[in-house]
Amino acid sequence: MVTFDPEGLTWAQRDGDACVVCHKRWPRPRKRVGRLPDDAPVLACADCAEALLPSPAATVVAFPSR
Ligand SMILES: [Zn+2]
């Protein structure tokens, strides 16, 4: 689990209201990509989380449908 430095984040990002990567607040970020030193979750939207973390779901999506 990555620990983010809250100094570099906006209040919305620290609150889990905005994506930690692209600052997007809607759709609400849902993927937990790390934590703050006080153990609060750091969230990112699905697209950014996929870029940050190798997502197990992406492996499933990669299979072509038959
Ligand atoms: Zn994002």
Residue 23 amino acid letter: H
28 CA to centre of ligand 1 in angstroms: 9
Instruction: Give me the count of residues in the chain.
Output: 66
pLDDT per position as a tens digit, 10-28: 999 999 999 999 999 998 9
Query: What is the structure's pLDDT at 53?
Result: 72
For the cut 60, the answer to whether the pLDDT of residue 58 exceeds it is no
Where along the chain do its domains lie?
2-54
For residue 43, the Cα-to-chain-centroid distance in whole angstroms is 4
| Whole-number Å distance between alpha carbons of 30 and 33 | 9
13 CA to centre of ligand 1 in angstroms: 11
Q: Which residues pair with 35 in a beta bridge?
A: 3, 41
11 CA to centre of ligand 1 in angstroms: 16
